[in-house]
Copies of this chain bind each other. A is one copy, B any other.
Amino acid sequence: MRALSIGAVAKATGVKVPTIRYYEDVGLLPTADRTTSNRRSYDETTVRRLRFIRHARDLGFSVEAIRQLIDLSDQPDHSCGDVDSIARLHLADIDEKIARLTALRTEVKRMVDEGAHGRVADCRVIEVLGDHAA
């Protein structure tokens, strides 16, 4: 496994250099190995983890939720009860997010379709997502 500089990791993941350092600060990434001249040195594992963090953040998961998901992944031998309850919690959250996104998708799609025919009628994006509250 070859060593990667922080810049190379940034390029590979789309996560900015200062953000990578920040994730280390707050414990989302383990303390990085250093070269003799004190530069951070990474491998592919970090690249994968960073991509995960980026996508999860983009999907609206909090840093704390991501920390939990990473822990689940990191510790396959973790107590089964823990894994199960945490995973179930996130599963419910994920299902809700998918349902809302799908509803929103339908409405935005409808607007695009109607736009194509030159008529933009009653846009109901707000009703659609709003009703999913309750």
Instruction: Tell me, in angstroms, the Cα distance from A84 to B120 when the chains sit together.
Output: 9
A115 to B91 Cα, complex, angstroms: 13
Residues of B within 8 A of A87 (CB): 108, 111-112, 115
Which residues of chain A from 76 to 110 have any CB-CB distance to chain B below 8 Å in the complex? 76-78, 80, 83-84, 87-88, 90-91, 94-95, 97-98, 100-102, 104-105, 108-109
Instruction: Report which A residues bind B (CB closer than 8 A).
Output: 13-14, 47-49, 51-52, 54-60, 69-70, 72-74, 76-78, 80, 83-84, 87-88, 90-91, 94-95, 97-98, 100-102, 104-105, 108-109, 111-112, 115-116, 118-127, 129-133
Docked Cα-Cα span, A59 to B98, in Å, equals 9
Q: Is the interface of A mostly helix, strand, loop or mixed?
A: helix
